[in-house]
Amino acid sequence: MSPNDVTVAETGEFELIRAVTEGRRQPPGTLLGPGDDAAVVAAPDGRVVASTDVLVQGVHFRLDWSAPEHVGRKAVAVNLADIAAMGATPTSVLVGIACPPDTPREVITALVDGMWAEAERAGVGVSGGDMVRADQLVISVTALGDLGDREPVTRSGARPGDVVAVCGKLGWAAAGLAVLGRGFRSPVGVVNAQRAPEPPYEAGPRAALAGATAMIDVSDGLLADLGHIAEASGVGIDVRTADLDVPARLTEVGAALGADPLDWVLTGGEDHALVATFPSFAELPEGWRTIGVATMPDSGITVDGKPSAREGGWTHWR
């Protein structure tokens, strides 16, 4: 039997856990890693920022579109982006994996390799987790973070006159989804943005230090996520398309697929860029660029001063 043919059932729960945890180097903030009933993670600030997301095969990822390593990276990235969006520094992730017994062992080990790679990119470790049987592959990740003696940056602090700024890619993941949906696997850079986003983790704490009044990561689409800030803060938000970056690569892909790349930028999710509001007098941190302004209450989300006809954002059960 080839090693690639060995299933998780044949491997066994505890041998599989050993295989994905043994020899991994934990960062200093993980005081006690896998092996006990619970992990121990340092909380220098005295408060812990926590977030959790669940990824389901066929809903959030497809293994015919993404390698297991990509899925592992994505599972960690979408959670750590939420930590960064609170203005916190990621400190640790906890992982739950459920899968059918006939899942190849190599799928799970590669999946966890991707998780470790993304965790290390953010400067954290995988400090613990669980594995169970299920009818399909399901991944749950809980991310922890530290505020560094700062107040959290919530969605509710924006005020009229604040500038709206973004850090990170917009529209790339949506373009990648469109490419994959047409049966293509290139351009690789566009497709990989869908397979494994790269949130700008360090940009969240920098924004907090610069005085960000509200912040969110772009998971459901720029207009939809700005709508969450507008609703929580009681403001309107106007996005200026002249200030949005529509890269040449997205323009090329849009032309090939008969799509408007601006739609991807405004309504496409899963890039996990960070978008925030800042006082008009604030100096934006490196990497942040202005894309709009917070307006008076009850003015809603507008694009170039007008209500947008674009349907924005992903919602489950729709």
Binding residues: 37, 51-53, 60, 82, 129-130, 155, 217, 219-220, 270, 314
Annotated binding site for ATP: 129-130, 155, 219
Residue found by looking up tokens 């490419």 in the block: 179
Q: Are 235 and 294 in contact (CB under 8 A)?
A: yes
d(CA 34, CA 260): 47
Q: Are 232 and 153 in contact (CB under 8 A)?
A: no
Note the residue count of the chain: 318
Annotated binding site for Mg(2+): 37, 51-53, 82, 130, 217, 220
The H or E element containing residue 289 is strand 289-295
| CB-count exposure of residue 217 (10 Å: 0-12, 13-18, 19+) | buried
| Exposure letters 226-246 (e unless 16+ CB within 10 A, then b) | bbebbeebebbbbbeeeebeb
d(CA 225, CA 233): 13
Annotated binding site for substrate: 60, 270, 314
The CB density around residue 309, as the number of other CB atoms within 10 Å, is 6
Q: Is 174 helix (H, G, I), strand (E, B) or coil?
A: helix
User: Both tokens of residue 299?
Assistant: 């003015």
Quick one: CA torsion of 284, 286, 291, 295, rounded to 10 degrees? -20
